[in-house]
Amino acid sequence: VIVATAVSLADSEGLEAVSIRRVAAALDARPMSIYSFAAIDRKEELMDLMVDDVCAELLLPEGLPQHWRDALHAVAVRTRAVLVRHPWWIELIGRHTLVGPNGMRYREQTLAAVADLEIDVSLKMALVTAVETYTVGQAALAVDTTGPVARQSRSCQDQRQADRSYQQTLISTGEFPHLARIGSAWPEAPADRERFFLLGLDWLLSGAKAALADSGRRPSTR
Amino acid sequence: VIVATAVSLADSEGLEAVSIRRVAAALDARPMSIYSFAAIDRKEELMDLMVDDVCAELLLPEGLPQHWRDALHAVAVRTRAVLVRHPWWIELIGRHTLVGPNGMRYREQTLAAVADLEIDVSLKMALVTAVETYTVGQAALAVDTTGPVARQSRSCQDQRQADRSYQQTLISTGEFPHLARIGSAWPEAPADRERFFLLGLDWLLSGAKAALADSGRRPSTR
DNA sequence: ACCTGAACACCGTTCAAGT
DNA sequence: ACCTGAACACCGTTCAAGT
């Protein structure tokens, strides 16, 4: 209950708005009652619980496709969707390693996706890690500046304008020929970013499939 | 000068130790002199400068290999090495988009890596983005708990022990058959993580190469 | 014994008082 | 005019004073 309000506070106002005092206030509780309650001795522990809480959303209730490639694809797409909803998650994941029960269920789900693959267990881990890595990276870089949070839409908009014109100034020095040529291909719209994400995910999965087929004891192209 | 001390403070004591007051103290300056100086009106602007400062380290001074695949590989390996040195960077990159001059030089370098590829400019962006995404993701997930920072080596060690035994308890419930079977293949040592990183990077690059060769106007396998 | 509010040591930022 | 220290509104955490 308490971590749910912390999560929704982080969603709507950003991670820096999540303070022990504000969470307590949102619950109409006295500021310090959080410490007495629920095994939270430090703020970090609340963060741990928040991380694990969104891990529950990463689980695919309807189960996984049978082919490992489709399964990993589904997991990655789902994970990306969830992390877009909770942009603060990736700020936390560096320090707070996935350790709670929901995090472990997520790991279990991802491993189940490659369970049928007949390759070395270490290679399985590498494959799962690669996909997870790519997905988390996408979430880290794709923080949506057009999203609902967009702190103070007015000043944020101004900031983007200023950044843009500053970049134009730098480009006009001629130091960045390739950047200048890119121009409009820069991915800004969320739809573009999703297209890029899916493209790279396909490359990664295809490359892994080819490499595993080459080196596998049995080709296991299914 | 001022951002350099902020960077080294973040490296040695973590990002949360970087406060306007502490940076000023480290410089033997009065706490508020930072605001008067160097176009810093808010702490966020200091963070912007810190992000751009490490971007300078991302540049490969010796130039890039000619083949796009080797070039992207070199950029990714370099980027990973730098981000391992500055773990706090990825916490910042979500909010502070790459906008400074060094950040743009980095982008320019990455685009130069694929300049010879004769494919659509949008595909070039997708390729560059995919590699960058994967690399940043690795940095986000691979925060080194054995590293020199490892806040309060004593309590951190204890924490890891507690986490470990908690996981064992959960595994012993039998809810996680695949996780149980992984066991020792879990990547903990930095060397393991680097091996995994290189494996996934090869998959990604191979997959991209194959896909681009298929769909390119000219195959351009070079 | 347990909860809880005042208190402590910080933080980012402002702003008026000095030079 | 410009720098700067006190002041303000916060924060996480502690701890003694209440029930």
Model pLDDT for residues A43-65, shown as the tens digit of each residue: 999 999 999 999 999 999 999 99
Shortest alpha-carbon distance between residue A215 and chain B (Å): 13
Calculate mean pLDDT across residues B20-35: 90
Of the candidates B94, B99, B206, the beta carbon closest to that of A211 is on: B206
Nucleotide with minimal C1' distance from the CA of A21 is D11
Sign of the C-alpha dihedral computed for residues B66, B71, B73 and B79 taken in this order: positive
Higher pLDDT, A19 or B143: A19
- Chain B residues whose beta carbon lies within 8 Å of the beta carbon of residue A51: none
Alpha-carbon span A189 to B160, nearest angstrom: 41
CA distances B96 to A68, A137, A143, B10, B86, Å, are 36, 15, 10, 16, 15
Q: Give the number of other CB atoms < 10 A from CB of residue A54.
A: 23
Given an 8 Å threshold on Cβ–Cβ distance, is A125 in contact with B91? no
Read off the pLDDT of residues B34-64 as tens digits, 9 standing for 90 and up. 898 877 889 999 999 999 999 999 999 999 9
In this complex, the residue of B127, B135, B179 whose CB is nearest that of residue A137 is: B135
Q: Tell which A residues from 90 to 129 touch B, by Cβ distance under 8 Å.
A: 90-91, 93-95, 97, 99, 101, 104-105, 107-108, 111-112, 115, 121-122, 124-127, 129
Other CB atoms closer than 10 Å to residue B130's CB: what's the count?
Answer: 26
pLDDT at position B56: 97
Residues comprising chain B, all counted: 222
Nucleotides, chain C, CB distance < 7 Å: 2-6, 10-15
> Does the pLDDT at position A222 exceed 50?
no
pLDDT grade for B215, boundaries at 50, 70 and 90: confident
Test B99 with A130 for CB contact under 8 angstroms.
no
Instruction: Name the most confidently modeled range: A67-71, B147-151, B172-176, B216-220.
Output: A67-71
* Three-point CA angle B15, B18, B21, nearest 5°: 165
Chain B interface mutation, best of A107, A117, A118, A134, highest count of B Cβ atoms under 10 Å = A134
Nucleotides of D under 7 A from a protein CB: 2-6, 10-15
Sequence-ordered alpha helix ranges (H) in chain A: 2-13, 20-26, 33-36, 43-57, 68-85, 89-93, 101-113, 121-141, 153-171, 177-182, 190-215
Question: Would you call A16 exposed, middle or buried from its count of C-beta atoms within 10 A (0-12, 13-18, 19+)?
Answer: exposed
Q: How far is CA B10 from CA A1, A91, B82, B89, in A?
A: 34, 15, 14, 9
Q: Which of A113, A104, A102 is nearest to A72 (CA)?
A: A113
The mean pLDDT of B182-202, rounded to a whole number, is 89
Q: Is the pTM of this model over 0.75?
A: yes
Q: At a CB cut-off of 8 Å and minimum separation 6, what does B68 contact?
A: B113, B114, B116, B117, B222
